[in-house]
Chains A and B, each alone.
Chain A
């Protein structure tokens, strides 16, 4: 018992608590904006893609190109490149507020692609049947595609949230705070394995919770 407690000597639980809070704020804030921006972008990608409702070859190629560039950029580079832009939006490149813009820019293209795929998995027959009822494009999206793609969209949100947990840890490098920041500054740079273990375990629990909740939602909306 003595040695066990002794092993965790370096841990400031209050610090851990604050860091966990920071991670949660970064995660929920960036996830919210990612979904708000990525869902319409994904729908636009789907509609413009070849042989879909609004087939627009040039627009699709342009959107696709931008999405691919953002997705091929390593997140750590994006963090640094984004600094002037981040300062413009939030007034700072530091802390939780400074981390959210790069997180959103990093995750939105990824999420949009997942949404595009989820929509593409809806049977074409459903679109045809809805058209045959006299629906316009907006009605096809809101009344048929969105409800039918809902399980896929929840799966996409889950995967994106978990990716964002990884990104928030990286954002610690530019002074964003959070559990990843603790792991890097104390666990890695000051050789405090106990801090490393506690933060990693907390991140692991967070990921487990996200995946479980996501899976439940997918099953709930599947109706199959």
Chain B
């Protein structure tokens, strides 16, 4: 928490050019949106799908975009490889201006960007191996034997070596998406776009596909942009999340920050959906509970420290746990507990929590 605050102050020092920080932090942005907007023309009317948006995605990050259907996240994703043409603004991917490319340049550029889809979009008429080979065959740069070798490597990576000769119809949903991932990685892209890649899968399969994506991100240093409507997907794999509503990014930041301290109503709704909490119902439930009610958020090491017991003993307060969750956000453990606190030196207890790097919200 503190280190985050410290980083914020550094960023805010006035008078220094942005480049200074880019060098200082060794941050490289692989995707940049400058005032990009997109309007569709439907039946003579202009329908805005994405309002003017500026955005930067760091190289090697897993960037999640969450929003309800129609929020514009799918449009934003498709603007990155120009499956959608922007109505205005500039999009830079890996130092190339995507908005200025001619059709040949665009085709070469698209070979550097992998994409996977909700409904997999595999060719039913081709075997698993031929599906994975397709981007390489289209690029036409490798010999047949080099392609075969690359396909074997890719199938090995996604754990489908035994299924090379099968057709997509013979595979399960999770296996199909693995083929989709292998296909997207064929040309060794710098960026992988995931369009609701797990929305058609059951929870267990979703977990294994997300694990594969996290593995790829780690081992290949591949930047991943994924869109989803499930907070759980964001929590499992993303480093940074942007929340979209009605064509606007309403909140953006590190996943732990956004997830544990949501500010915008849309973000709050997503977090509550994920935790299956109904805020007004909870307020009614807590109405008859005596004492102060606080919500404590522990992150990282603090999650496992025996803080609660120690502080209660030393300050003489009593507590009862009303609600709570201990879980992980990507690789960081966290805990969030709602407590009712009675008796003792309450102020001292609160001061101790804050001193121990625990985020505290007083609810009542």
Residues of A within 8 A of B (CB): 123, 125-126, 128-136, 139, 143-144, 147-148, 150, 221-224
Contacts and interface: CB of A to CB of B under 8 A. Distances in A.
A134 B115 contact: no
B121 A128 contact: yes
Contact of A125 (B113, B117, B125, B139): B117
Interface in B176-212: 187, 193
B26 to A, nearest CB: 30
- Residue in A125, A128, A134 with the greatest tally of chain B CB atoms within 10 Å: A134
Contacts of A128: 83, 117, 121
A151 to B, nearest CB: 8
Contacts of B187: 133
Given A147-B126, A223-B167, A139 B138 contact: yes
A212 to B, nearest CB: 22
Interface residues of B, number: 29
Interface of B: 81, 83, 103, 106-111, 113, 115, 117, 119, 121-126, 134-135, 137-139, 167-169, 187, 193
**Looking at chain A's contact residues, is the secondary structure mostly helix, strand, loop, or mixed?**
helix
A133 B121 contact: no
B130 to A, nearest CB: 9
A130 B83 CA distance: 11
Contacts of A129: 115, 117, 121-122
B83 A131 contact: yes
B66 to A, nearest CB: 22
A130 B109 CA distance: 14
Contact of B169 (A134, A148, A223): A223
Contacts of B108: 134
A147 B125 CA distance: 6
A132 B107 contact: no
Nearest to A147: B125
Given A148-B123, A224-B169, A132 B137 contact: no
Contacts of A123: 119, 121
